[in-house]
Amino acid sequence: TCSLLRSPKGFPKLKNDTFLRAARGEETEHTPVWCMRQAGRYLPEFRETRASQDFFATCRSPKLCCELTLQPLRRFPLDAAIIFSDILVVPQALGMEVVMVPGKGPTFTEPLKEVEDLLKLRQKVDVTAELGYVFQAITLTRHSLEGKVPLIGFSGAPWTLMSYMIEGGGSTTMAKAKSWLYRHPEASHRLLRLLADVIIDYLVGQVAAGAQALQLFESHAGHLGPELFQDFALPYIRDIAQAVKSKLKEEALPLVPMIIFAKDAHYALRDLAHAGYEVVGLDWTIRPQEARAQVGKDVTLQGNLDPCALYAPKEKIGELVKKMLESFGTQRYIANLGHGLYPDMNPEHVGAFVEAVHAHSRHINKH
């Protein structure tokens, strides 16, 4: 139950730390598993809870975020929870208006068009004032989890957020946002820097509120090639890891494991492996052995079952999971999908995925 807001102190003792151990590269009896978008519309109880609510109003309600975060854990023996929120709360904190349009998705009422538009953004963001509702949701959920599993906090990465802020929503080409990188490189760096600074404070605030791991989503990495990624994405990804860690130390907060998930960025895997993150998340378009060869032995991998595999019959899901575990190995590995769950997926198939990871990894570890 998600009642009673208690202080960030005195959190319940963690009972299942498999996910955190795997993230840090320690040995685990089974391979931990969680799913991106595990709190979502594929669950009837999620649709019921969210039915009458505006999407971003839901994000601003700690009680509802807590309830939605806990729903998948009531059904499945997942090894981690991820706070229910959205990456676009950061542009909102910078003063931009985002609305959820049915059938279209998130839409910015006034996207950035010209370099001058950067002046409309808040240049200094007090994350507690602007995003305190996320911190409250994390604290409340951490208590309500009762130590069952660790709680993951997250943010979008600067390039991904910049692309939304310029495109005004989703896009198949990101041509408007990429045109900034080519036409206005200095202004692009100004915007990316502003975003990075807010993200650093936001992630540190999430740990202070009770997050036990952090994931950075560079969901639009695939729209960049190696050169643009090297110039406009990687430096900020690196900087965020470094700055978050040094601020956590300064503030005597726990040094939590950090995950970088740069979708469709195989061209950058080696760089991402050295970017300061304990875990590198993978989409489904790369072979596990190839990813392992590129990142080396000192980083945990996370991923990478094709989400659409969950449309397969349950037995087939089990076979695919077994193959995935054999390819990655059961250690220094966190099982996940290569992207989020889709709204029309059958919850039973999600359950089959989670159970297959546990069963097959235990079996492989014994033999």
Convert the pLDDT of each residue in 198-257 to its tens digit.
999 999 999 999 999 999 999 999 999 999 999 999 999 999 999 999 999 999 999 999
List the one residue out of 238, 228, 115, 222 whose CA is nearest residue 181: 228
Q: Identify whether 214 is part of a domain.
A: yes
Q: Identify whether 21 is part of a domain.
A: no
Mean pLDDT of 152-170: 98
Q: How high is the pLDDT of residue 81?
A: 98
Mean pLDDT of 7-34: 94
Q: How high is the pLDDT of residue 51?
A: 85
Q: How high is the pLDDT of residue 2?
A: 73
7, pLDDT greater than 60: no
Query: Which positions are annotated as active-site residues?
Result: 37, 41, 50, 86, 164
Q: Identify whether 93 is part of a domain.
A: yes
Q: How high is the pLDDT of residue 145?
A: 98
Summary mean pLDDT of the chain: 97
Q: Identify whether 16 is part of a domain.
A: no
Mean pLDDT of 332-352: 98
Q: Identify whether 2 is part of a domain.
A: no
Kindly report the CATH number assigned to the domain that includes residue 240.
3.20.20.210
Q: Identify whether 23 is part of a domain.
A: no
- What percentage of residues in the chain have a pLDDT greater than 90? 96
Q: How many domains does the chain have?
A: 1
Q: How high is the pLDDT of residue 4?
A: 59
Burial class (CB in 10 A: 0-12, 13-18, 19+), 212: buried
Q: Are 93 and 127 in contact (CB under 8 A)?
A: yes
Q: How high is the pLDDT of residue 319?
A: 98
Convert the pLDDT of each residue in 83-120 to its tens digit.
999 999 999 999 999 999 988 999 999 999 999 999 99
Range of the domain at 137: 31-366
Q: How high is the pLDDT of residue 96?
A: 98
Convert the pLDDT of each residue in 32-48 to its tens digit.
999 999 999 999 999 99
Q: Identify whether 12 is part of a domain.
A: no
Mean pLDDT of 248-276: 98
SS (H, E, C) the chain: CCCCCCCCCCCCCCCCCHHHHHHCCCCCCCCCECCCCCCCCCCHHHHHHHCCCCHHHHHCCHHHHHHHHHHHHHHCCCCCEECCCCCCHHHHHCCCCEEEECCCEEEECCCCCCHHHHHHCCCCCCHHHHHHHHHHHHHHHHHHCCCCCCEEEEEECHHHHHHHHHHCCCCCCCHHHHHHHHHCHHHHHHHHHHHHHHHHHHHHHHHHHCCCEEEEEECCHHHCCHHHHHHHCHHHHHHHHHHHHHHHHHCCCCCCCEEEEECCCHHHHHHHHCCCCCEEECCCCCCHHHHHHHHCCCCEEEEEECHHHHHCCHHHHHHHHHHHHHHHCCCCEEEEECCCCCCCCCHHHHHHHHHHHHHHHHHHHHC
Q: Identify whether 19 is part of a domain.
A: no
Please list, residue by residue across 66-96, b when 16 or more beta carbons sit within 10 angstroms of its beta carbon and e when fewer do.
bbbbbbbbeebebbbbbbbbbbbbbbbbbeb
Output the CA torsion sign for 39, 20, 193, 95. positive
Q: How high is the pLDDT of residue 5?
A: 57
pLDDT category, 8, cuts 50, 70, 90? low
Q: How high is the pLDDT of residue 103?
A: 86
Mean pLDDT of 48-74: 95
Q: Are 345 and 41 in contact (CB under 8 A)?
A: no
